[in-house]
Amino acid sequence: MLFLLAYISSVVLINYAFSTAPDLDIIWSAWGGLVFVLRDMVQTRFGHGAIVAMLAALVLSYLTSDPAIAVASATAFAVSECIDWLVFSITKRPLHDRLWLSSALSIPVDTFLFFGMIGALTPAVVGTALVSKFAGVTAVWLIMAWRIRKNACPG
């Protein structure tokens, strides 16, 4: 439940931050990495129910943030969620591999859509967002892979 609340809160707060202080877009783009990690944790726990959490976060964002930011966020999340859904539904790889594969496909799409729609598609912002998102997802992948190896080793 903690990941679910943290995910919804982070989406709302990051959209609010982009709305109220757009000149700090590099900072907010770094925070985006946390949102992807939280989304993966929610998907791991609640499966496709993560879409309900995303919808709740986007409705709250629309009520608390610049509507253009909320719409850009909703569009980017919707497309990246569709990519995630396809990866999770089609591939038969272990969970940690599906998380990384879905992120490798959805992160760039999400990043370019969101920042393109809000007019902040600069190399610094995109680079910061991509690095933070991939760093977070890779950290989750490494932790999950370590746990699998640890549980597979008798002793």
What pLDDT does 155 receive? 57
pTM equals 0.82
Q: What is the C-alpha to C-alpha distance for residues 3 and 50, in angstroms, rounded to an integer?
A: 11
The residue type at 70: A
Sign, CA dihedral 135-92-57-76, equals positive
Q: Report the interhelical angle of 67-90 vs 2-20 (nearest 10°).
A: 140
Comparing 99 with 52, the larger pLDDT belongs to 52
> Model confidence over 33-56: pLDDT tens digits?
778 778 878 877 887 788 899 899
Comparing 60 with 152, the larger pLDDT belongs to 60
**What are the tokens at 36?**
């992807």
